[in-house]
């Protein structure tokens, strides 16, 4: 596996982990967020994974 494929794989695994945490919170009935905030958060994660940009939302 070349470094580019490895890096992409690691970023996708990180995204999957973040999405699983959100889904676990939702299933447990924990306080959620508005659809607009969620869209913004997910856009930031996608940008980070696809383009290496850091999201300002953490």
Q: Are 30 and 43 in contact (CB under 8 A)?
A: no
Q: Are 33 and 47 in contact (CB under 8 A)?
A: no
Instruction: Report pTM.
Output: 0.51
Residue 42, exposed/middle/buried by CB under 10 A (0-12, 13-18, 19+)? middle
How confident is the model over 3-49, as pLDDT tens digits?
A: 999 999 999 999 999 889 989 988 888 877 788 888 898 888 888 88
User: Domain range spanning residue 22?
Assistant: 3-27+34-51
Q: Is residue 17 part of a domain?
A: yes
Q: Is residue 15 part of a domain?
A: yes
Q: Is residue 58 part of a domain?
A: no
């Amino acid at each position: 596996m070349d470094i580019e494929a490895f890096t992409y794989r690691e970023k996708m695994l990180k995204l999957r982990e973040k999405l699983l945490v959100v889904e676990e919170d939702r299933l447990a009935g924990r306080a959620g967020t508005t659809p607009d905030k969620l869209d913004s958060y997910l856009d930031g994660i996608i940008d980070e994974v696809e383009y290496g940009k850091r999201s300002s939302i953490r």
